[in-house]
Structure 1
Amino acid sequence: MSTSTSTPTGATATAPADAPALPVTVLSGFLGAGKTTLLNHLLHRLDGLRVAVIVNDMSEINIDADLVRGEGHLTRTDERLVEMTNGCICCTLRDDLLEEVAELARQGRFDHLIIESSGISEPMPVAATFAVPDADGNPLLQGARLDTMVSVVDAAGFLSELGAGDDLVERGLDAYEDDERTVSDLLVDQVEFADLILVNKIDLVTPEQADHVEAAVRRLNPLARVLRIEHGQVDPVELVGANRFDLERASRAPGWVNELNGDHVPETEEYGISSLVFRAERPFHPQRLWDLLSSGFEGSGFGTILRTKGFFWLATRPRMTGLWSQAGPVARFEPAGVWDPADGLALGYSPEDLEGSETVEPRQELVFIGTELRHEALKSALDSCLLTDEEFHTPWERLADPFPVWDVRGVHAHHQHA
């Protein structure tokens, strides 16, 4: 069946107070990673459990749901397949997801719910559907809980897709109007917010290539469990009833956070994957940093950079801290926040403009994760972008600044560097 019901934005979907919470496993992964094959193998081995399944597809025709139905694993009357089509549950269909999960929980007929998200779905917004409270502090979704967030990675295509940086719009995969995400963004998001990462299709790569992919995903998310699998085959206990999801742990899971906190030795290299933490007390000269990025940052002999994340400080914006976020070859630079609310007022913003803005201390604190990184060359190039002694003691506002203008209101607008 296709969903036709929806809940008004901000509404709370409820289940009976005395009903046990319905555990939910969410399957994420880019197109072709093998989610549907995994789901069919999983259902085939879950005899004895009453399972409900929600399959999300961006197209009007839910091909994945047809494949699940065609396998014949959901034929018993105590099992239910729900199709959610023509939209993505991480954005346009979140209200529908809220309603459907609440209804399945309310029925009390199921032991477990498995959600196969679309190939362009981000897991974090889906998880937020279960965890975010309403205006009264109650969960928007009552009667269900997250069991495990699973990301399926295509061992044969992950690194090449991550390095390509194609826009979803170019691929015809945009989920909503003005969708500026790239394939690289999506792959990193799906890996960084997983409890369990399944490196699938290892039969299609060499052992060395499999090592390389596994090392990359472990560096991006060192807290997740990583398993290598073939043809989507995995022991069901790994993702059904595993109780792996923890919201607090998930919020600090990305590898770049671990690197900044010193939880991982930055110089350690595994199968060519390593990381560099760059810190400095001086601001960047905007023009020199822009020139470094524009002159082929990826091809300047620093190695292949898979991920960059952290805070940076431009001299011409002395009261604001920036956020540098890079997935594959695509980098975005946006305001992380003002140093202090008083600084925002001094910049000419009104108290209303600054409402909700973050207070972020000025600093250079960046993590670079990549393949065959040349640490000294990369650090030297970044050091050369810092203000010199002479520049440090001259008026900073006179320096050339080609970076897009930042607006601290909301601090959610992404500025992409070509």
Structure 2
Amino acid sequence: MANLEKLPVTVITGFLGSGKTTLISHLMRNPGGKRLAVVVNEFGEFGVDGDILKGCAIPECPAENIVELANGCICCTVADDFIPTIETLMALDPRPDHILIETSGLALPKPLLRAFDWPAIRSRITVDGVIALADAEAVAAGRFAPDVAAVDRQRLADDSIDHETPLSEVFGDQVSCADIVLLTKPDLAGPNGVARAREVILAEAPRALPIIEVAEGAVDPRVILGLGAAAEDDLAARPSHHDGADDHEHDDFASVVIDIPEIHDPAPLVERIEGLAREQNILRVKGHVAVTGKPMRLLVQAVGARVRHQFDRAWRPDEARQGRLVVIGEHHDIDAQAIRALLLPQPLDA
């Protein structure tokens, strides 16, 4: 007999580097008795997060239940990507109990919610909740706030100017669409930073929202799964900067993929990535590199000038020991030639 109960979906949103993949990895290891499936939507042609999550696959969330959609926004390619992916996951045997969707860090969640009204799936699936992750340190530092002084100067010259920065708009839309906000990396922010981040989020939110501190993605699945929000039927309560528009823009941000030759020491590469943040205002760098004499792949993750790296898995026999990094920033800051010059001085480890 067919299962007529709607399949719950949790949309996990949050800016670049806020910890979405870490959260999903934790949920996969601690599913609360649920059989999970995961959809990962990456910004840019080179995906990293799907491979990380497949490395965490367990019987409750096997590798075939993890789908990566790179180089596009799933809410902009509903018929071609989103609907077929969801239908494939719903047709799995056994069927998942819950689907997690990790949006791109630059995605606006509300257009994705509208996609759940697509006739092919709207009677079979529901948005259980929207979980927004916010990097406490970045929020407290004002990284997502508009440059008020700059906007004021522009307004003096042109009264029609009344806008926020692309970063603040994305952050505002993600918070406004959320049912719960997870405040990540509280250890880096410290008590004062956490308090400031809470103030910023509450000021941005259009309604009262629970804000929960979470370190390394460790949250009880019962807190964020099973909310029953039916968010697709509650769009009016989730305002967006892009309400009323027929489309939403992705032109504010861009990415470039850099091939990295094998290195001898990660330290110089880390310094160069830090330099990208300072000199090119780069928002995010992620990918992997090969280190001479090391059989494992080095995973590199950077948010601004904050760089982390660790060996995550062995190089497979069928893959070349070739490193690749995706660099993401605002469109006017992405100068591929300048980025390559900063990231790849010759020789790399000189």
Cα 1:76–1:24, aligned 2, differ >3 Å: closer, same or farther?
closer
- Relative CO higher for 1 or 2, CA cutoff 8 Å, sep ≥ 6? 2
Structure 2 regions of 5+ residues with no counterpart?
148-163, 243-350
1:186 aligns with 2:170: yes
Deviations 1:27-47 (A, max 9, x none): 001101000011111111115
Instruction: Output the CA distance in 2 between the equivalents of 1:140 and 1:75.
Output: 24
Q: TM-score, normalised by structure 2?
A: 0.57
| Offset, 1:60 | 2.5
Secondary structure of the corresponding residue to residue 194 of structure 1: coil
Q: Which residue of 2 aligns with 1:163?
A: 145
| Offset, 1:243 | 1.5
CA RMSD of aligned residues (A): 3.2
Report if aligned partners of 2:145, 2:167 keep a CA contact under 8 Å in 1.
no
Question: What amino acid is the match of 2:123?
Answer: Q
Instruction: Output the CA distance in 1 between the equivalents of 2:190 and 2:62.
Output: 43
Structure 1 regions of 5+ residues with no counterpart?
1-15, 166-179, 257-307, 310-418
Question: Which structure has the larger Rg over C-alpha atoms?
Answer: 1
Q: Which residue of 2 aligns with 1:38?
A: 23
Q: Which residue of 1 aligns with 2:200?
A: 216
Question: What amino acid is the match of 1:70?
Answer: G
**1:369-408 residue pairs with structure 2 within 5 A?**
none
Secondary structure of the corresponding residue to residue 215 of structure 2: coil
Q: Which residue of 2 aligns with 1:146?
A: 127
Instruction: Output the CA distance in 2 between the equivalents of 1:129 and 1:145.
Output: 11
Secondary structure of the corresponding residue to residue 156 of structure 1: helix
Report if aligned partners of 2:20, 2:133 keep a CA contact under 8 Å in 1.
yes
Instruction: Output the CA distance in 2 between the equivalents of 1:145 and 1:104.
Output: 14
Question: What amino acid is the match of 1:148?
Answer: G
Secondary structure of the corresponding residue to residue 8 of structure 2: strand
Instruction: Output the CA distance in 1 between the equivalents of 2:100 and 2:196.
Output: 30
Question: What amino acid is the match of 1:147?
Answer: D
Secondary structure of the corresponding residue to residue 62 of structure 1: coil
Q: Which residue of 1 aligns with 2:290?
A: none
Secondary structure of the corresponding residue to residue 171 of structure 2: helix
Instruction: Output the CA distance in 2 between the equivalents of 1:50 and 1:31.
Output: 27
Question: What amino acid is the match of 1:151?
Answer: A
Cα 1:163–1:246, aligned 2, differ >3 Å: closer, same or farther?
closer
Deviations 1:56-109 (A, max 9, x none): 112323200111112344686596111111112232466411221123224461
Question: What amino acid is the match of 1:217?
Answer: I
Cα 1:205–1:181, aligned 2, differ >3 Å: closer, same or farther?
closer
| Offset, 1:154 | 0.5
Question: What amino acid is the match of 1:98?
Answer: I
Q: Which residue of 2 aligns with 1:112?
A: 98
Number of paired residues? 226
Deviations 1:374-408 (A, max 9, x none): xxxxxxxxxxxxxxxxxxxxxxxxxxxxxxxxxxx
Q: Which residue of 1 aligns with 2:114?
A: 128
Report if aligned partners of 1:146, 1:245 keep a CA contact under 8 Å in 2.
yes
Instruction: Output the CA distance in 2 between the equivalents of 1:223 and 1:248.
Output: 18
